[in-house]
Amino acid sequence: MKITPGIINGEFIGTEGKIAESCHSGYIGISGKIVDESKNTFTFLQGGKMKRVIKEAAVFHFRFCDGSIVEIDGNLLVARSEDRLKKSIKRLW
């Protein structure tokens, strides 16, 4: 998968995710399928339990359907998914 700013504008519900880094020690290692998204949080389904994580407090690893894993800083994701579509993002790499 080609890494582009368009990934940040995409839909994350249904995607497998993992928290790689966080300033909150309880978040590190949470992984599972993303089942809900709000402006400031992702909700993961991990082992039959729902875990809500604040976006700006973490760095996420997302696994997409083609098997690629992408690391995204949660600060770039703080917005409703429909509002992220409207936002332009400078290329970071």
How many whole angstroms separate alpha carbon 65 and alpha carbon 55?
22
Contact 42, 18 (CB under 8 A): no
pLDDT, tens only, 2-28: 556 678 888 899 999 999 999 999 999
- Domains identified in the chain and CATH numbers: 8-86 (2.30.30.210)
Q: Which two tokens stand for residue 76?
A: 């770039």
Query: Residue 67 has what pLDDT?
Result: 85
Q: Which helix (H) or strand (E) holds 86?
A: helix 81-86
pTM, two decimals, is: 0.82
